[in-house]
Amino acid sequence: MFVQCCVCKRIRVDGEYRLPWPGELTNEVAETYCPRCARETLQRIRSGEFAEMAERRAEERRRAM
Q: What is the SS3 assignment for the chain?
A: CEEEECCCCCEEECCEEECCCCCCCCCCEEEECCHHHHHHHHHHHHHCHHHHHHHHHHHHHHHHC
Tell me the whole-structure pTM to 2 decimals.
Answer: 0.71
pLDDT for the residue numbered 21: 92
pLDDT for the residue numbered 49: 83
Instruction: Give mean pLDDT in consecutive 10-residue pieces for the chain, a chain of 65 residues.
Output: 94 94 87 96 88 87 88
